[in-house]
Structure 1
Amino acid sequence: MREITIVGGVYGEVCDFPRNQTIRGSAGRSAVALASEAKTSLFAFIDSEMEREFRAICNNNNVHETLFSREDPIWFRYRHPLSSPVRYDTNKEYTLGSEVTADQCLVFGTIENRPEVHANNVVYDPQNVNTASSFSSNGSKANSVIYVVSLLEGKVLTQCEEPKNIASKIMTFDNVTGVIVKCGPLGAFVTDRNESEWVPCFPSTKVYKIGTGDIYSAAIALFHLLDGVSLRDSAWYASAAVSRYVESPIERLLFEKKDEIVNIAKRMMDQKRPYQPKSLSNKKVYLAGPFFNTAQQWLIDEARETLQGFGLEVFSPIHDVGEGAYDEVASLDIAGIDASDIVLAIVDGNDSGTLFEVGYARGRDIKVIAIAESCDEQNLTMIRGSGCGVAGDFATGIYAVCWELLADD
């Protein structure tokens, strides 16, 4: 049977909504996902609080674990799947006891000091926006290294801003044979020693984003290292795998239907290859929603900052108009809708102003995505009936806006 070695972190993860609590981390999640396709060996730290449960997870999924002791548990709390997590631990440093030697290896950056790895072929994911380091920075060596980085990680590693420049710079690192720079809803830029191309982010009906980077890197390891698929085609397959995972985040089942993932990717390749991402920076979103108490204002702020983080221009009535007389505020808000490409409406609570903004936008044939996390279905009749998209959670609604705008033109 084929073999793969995984080196990385095992941590606790809590998401407030949609509610979820699990012990995974990058290495744990990838090991569970890949165990159905290869003999999987895992090297990671664990503490006594998590050890029993995680060993049971490994045993149930045929993961061969080598776990090194750390004193305290490490947990990450996410308010929603797009939020920056809050980390809970004592910030102690740990060093893995010995180096890891393997043939095919998937390596993740860790909170603990990453062990020295010696391997034939490696897929390397730095996993840390603030302190991303190169694979060889701790003495690790491999005959071939594929880097899978987020745009922000790439910027830290190279001091470059654009995906193509980031990839070019990383290609000069020791024994690097390929680079993938992930750019959120815009897709990913992929390059090897021969060619480069963009690969789209595949749309989905739900977006549970926690762990998607882990699954993406695991898919690259599976298709490229184990199956021998070209890096560029593997990136298409990885995007398809992630689109399946975000709708049903159960890692152990993901690659059991690998053929379905490949078929999804091939259909998308037939439709979109060659792919060139469109810019979101010239698109404007009208953010509709109530802002009359702390919880409502927090959600408006969170939506605005998240959309801006994707490069979108956001018109938010409370931020861009403020409160005032109805005959002044209403006309300015309506002008904001008229000038926007899409409306993101938070409809929980059935605020009358928000519902008016939704109806006005649809009357002007402006697209609307409604976030309805706790809204009775009967209250969505006119929203659905007028052609609005409806998302059952915050992260799905944000991505739905991006995909609608990228599909325009």
Structure 2
Amino acid sequence: MIVAGGSYLEICEIPRWRRLFGSGGRAAAAVGQLSPGSSLHTYAFAGWARDVESSMHACGVTATVMPIAEEISFGYFHALSPATLRPAVPTRHPALSVEGRVVLRFGFVEGDAVVSAERAVHDPQGDDVVPFRANGSRAETLAVVLNEGEAEAATGEEGPAAGEAVLALHAADVVVVKRGCSGATVHRPGRDPVAVPAYRSARVFKIGSGDVFSAAFAHHWGERGLDAAVAADLASRAVHHFVDTRSLPLPAAADLADQALAPVGGEPGRVYLAAPFFHIAQRWLVEEARDRLHALGASVFSPLHDVGTGGGAVALATADLAGLDGCQAVLALLDGADPGSIFEVGHARARGIPVVVLAERLDEHHLTMLAGTGCEVVDDFASALYRVVWASLR
């Protein structure tokens, strides 16, 4: 398989991550063992070119690198943070030219790739989704893989209608819309959409998960010729492997299919946010958790935002617990061992409402009653958010 995609430095503070990957490098590394003879066509800062070539060689991939003068990086505070691109507006370079039987083409921030392929998979990487053939690219058979937000931004449609509109926009044979916690949907002309589940993992390292999905799909659909829905399911299983372990290359299809994974589907429900908010660090964490849960598709009941801090103790407690009773799951931010939040956890468990606890620094003996009453205890922010959204699915 041929991969055309970027090679960028990725930096995440929590959890610590500093790797020279990018969409192209990660996708090529993912399929290097599954698809012997794979190649990567990419741009890279001249000082990184040798590193890109050697790291790809270690994965069984041949890299063709166009050296550029800028160090392009994506920075994240945590694994669900919006990325910070540096430089903010990279210099644009002449397009790469790529020809082969099966080509996976990603969007670039510093250039483009003109593709000629029998079977192509296009992952546009951003809200500015330009039709695949607009730059002169050609493919006998085309699949487009993008996330739900990109599909809706590109078409002005919502839900399943966005996937159908992307089919028309690209004159594609297949469109796969990735839906985060809810899995993916496969669209084909004249056929009903097919839902593909996500698979529950203990941990979720989100950076690059979409690249892995596209790489696995391109291999199973483009190279192996599997049905698009079957290939998308294998891609979803591949994502489970990556976000849980951060390891590449990907396992073989037989190994993925044999794993006893827990599929998840449905729509996110309402999450109760149990947390102290008495100083700026606590308040920031509440705001960030609420924003990221919304981005994952969940609605959120936050006592701070939905009840407030005015009124007496009885009124506040009554309103908070009434809100909790209307939620499908609870996210408890418990590093401060806040008594009110712990009370809310007990209230939820007494009513059979699932609870996910984020506890990065609590000692194990402080977690006895939480773990002993069926709470999921997690020490990673992104993993906690995904797990509480999965717990809320309806």
Same fold by TM-score greater than 0.5: yes
The aligned residue for residue 245 of structure 2 is 248
- Pick the aligned partner of 1:140 from 137, 141, 145: 137
Q: 1:393 to 1:174 in 2, by over 3 A?
A: closer
List gaps (5 residues or longer) in structure 2.
none
The aligned residue for residue 83 of structure 1 is 81
**Partner Cα separation in structure 2 for residue 168 and residue 314 of structure 1:** 30
AA aligned opposite 1:191: H
User: What RMSD, in angstroms, separates the aligned Cα atoms of the two structures?
Assistant: 2.0
AA aligned opposite 2:6: G
The aligned residue for residue 181 of structure 1 is 177
AA aligned opposite 1:135: F
**Partner Cα separation in structure 2 for residue 125 and residue 134 of structure 1:** 11
TM-score normalised by L of structure 1:
0.90
Residues 105 and 113 of structure 2 are in contact (CA less than 8 Å); yes or no, is this contact kept in structure 1? no
- Map 1:301-320 onto structure 2 (within 5 A): 301-320=287-306
AA aligned opposite 1:210: I
**In the alignment, is residue 197 of structure 1 matched against residue 194 of structure 2?**
yes
Residues 143 and 175 of structure 1 are in contact (CA less than 8 Å); yes or no, is this contact kept in structure 2? no
Shift of 1:90: 5.4
**Partner Cα separation in structure 1 for residue 33 and residue 267 of structure 2:** 38
Q: 1:52 to 1:290 in 2, by over 3 A?
A: farther
AA aligned opposite 2:162: I
**Partner Cα separation in structure 2 for residue 41 and residue 174 of structure 1:** 25
**Secondary structure, aligned partner of 2:314:** helix
The aligned residue for residue 287 of structure 1 is 273
**In the alignment, is residue 218 of structure 1 matched against residue 215 of structure 2?**
yes
Shift of 1:173: 4.3
**Aligned residues with identical type, % of pairs:** 35
Residues 234 and 253 of structure 2 are in contact (CA less than 8 Å); yes or no, is this contact kept in structure 1? no
Residues 102 and 118 of structure 1 are in contact (CA less than 8 Å); yes or no, is this contact kept in structure 2? yes
TM-score normalised by L of structure 2:
0.94
Q: What are the superposed Cα offsets for residues 15-72 of structure 1, whole Å, 9 maximum, x if unpaired?
A: 1111111111110001111111221111111003433332221222222111112211
The aligned residue for residue 20 of structure 2 is 23
AA aligned opposite 2:68: R
**Secondary structure, aligned partner of 1:99:** strand
- Pick the aligned partner of 2:354 from 347, 354, 367: 367
Q: How many residue pairs were aligned?
A: 391
**Secondary structure, aligned partner of 1:251:** coil
**Partner Cα separation in structure 1 for residue 326 and residue 158 of structure 2:** 30
Which stretch shifts more, 91-100 or 227-236? Answer: 91-100
Shift of 1:85: 1.0
Residues 12 and 21 of structure 1 are in contact (CA less than 8 Å); yes or no, is this contact kept in structure 2? yes
**Partner Cα separation in structure 1 for residue 96 and residue 323 of structure 2:** 60
Shift of 1:351: 1.6
List gaps (5 residues or longer) in structure 1.
none
**Partner Cα separation in structure 1 for residue 171 and residue 328 of structure 2:** 45
Which stretch shifts more, 86-95 or 40-49? Answer: 86-95
Q: What are the superposed Cα offsets for residues 301-325 of structure 1, whole Å, 9 maximum, x if unpaired?
A: 1111122223332111111222244
AA aligned opposite 1:213: G
Runs of 4+ in 1 over 6 A off after TM superposition: none
**In the alignment, is residue 62 of structure 1 matched against residue 60 of structure 2?**
yes
